[in-house]
Amino acid sequence: MTEFRCNFHNHTVLSPCADLTMTTENYINFLTKSSLDWISITDHNSSANVRNYKKIIEENSGIKVIPGIEVQSIEEVHILVYFEHTHECEEFGKIIEESLIIKSYNQEKLGYQILTDESGEFSEIIDSPYLGSSSSYSVDKIFSMAKKYSTAVVPAHIFRANGLITQLGIPPKINFDAVEVKSEKEMEKAKKIGYSKFIFGCDSHFPQQLENISCYIEADSRNFQNFQNSLNSEKVIPVWQP
């Protein structure tokens, strides 16, 4: 068994709120300075940069990347969906993108949405839809749509802005694979409302955050089954961020 150092919540230059320096080059620079082993790419409402970032990171750092997306539901709840397969993440991402409510937006004010090519170069600026928008699907619907694939579905930062509990008040009767919390206090609070399976992410929007380890997973290898098993058996070990 190896104890893998992980951070499963990171944005790229595609997310309008992420810094323009969240390039593949900076991912490599900062990730290779860190001791991370296993991460995920989770842009807002799109998975269009996942394939290229995954390929470049895995080839240049030896770090394993889980394809992911952070969906915003119609209730404005952020939900992380982790996929076993990149092509399924892309298919799901397209469905989410098409469902976004806000089509055009002020790029200068709200941030650019940038696609990168196979070598990590900027290839296109996406001006529609606005990826910071809500999808027209509910939390319930997003969960059932995501579960048609091999996925782990995890509400993000549940007690923060756009968190499940912040937005809905009471926890819905949905069997999530885990919930994301940001502190020990939040974890205790989540346990009191019935949650027992957790994940811990840095929600990186700036390159400096890419160095942070947010949790450990003990497994014999970094495959999706082991990731899911660790969530389901409550074996993800937190590293609390200052």
Interacting residues toward Zn ion by CB under 5 A: 70, 78, 156, 203
The helix (run of H) or strand (run of E) holding residue 154 is strand 151-155
Q: Which residue, 12 or 99, is less far from Zn ion as judged by CB? A: 12
Q: Which residue, 132 or 238, is less far from Zn ion as judged by CB? A: 132
CB 89 → Zn ion: shortest distance, Å?
16
Amino acid 17 reads C
Which residues have CB under 8 Å from 82's CB, separation 6+?
A: 8, 40, 42, 66, 67, 68, 151, 152, 153, 154, 224, 227
**In contact, 3 and 218? CB cutoff 8 Å:** yes
By beta carbon distance, the residue nearest Zn ion is 78
Q: Which residue, 70 or 88, is less far from Zn ion as judged by CB? A: 70
CB 110 → Zn ion: shortest distance, Å?
15
Q: Which residue, 19 or 70, is less far from Zn ion as judged by CB? A: 70
CB 80 → Zn ion: shortest distance, Å?
8
Amino acid 189 reads K
Identify the CA nearest to 177 among candidates 203, 156, 204. 156
Q: Is 238 helix (H, G, I), strand (E, B) or coil?
A: strand
CB 162 → Zn ion: shortest distance, Å?
5
Q: Which residue, 19 or 219, is less far from Zn ion as judged by CB? A: 19
Q: What sign results for the dihedral spanned by CA atoms 110, 115, 121, 125?
A: negative
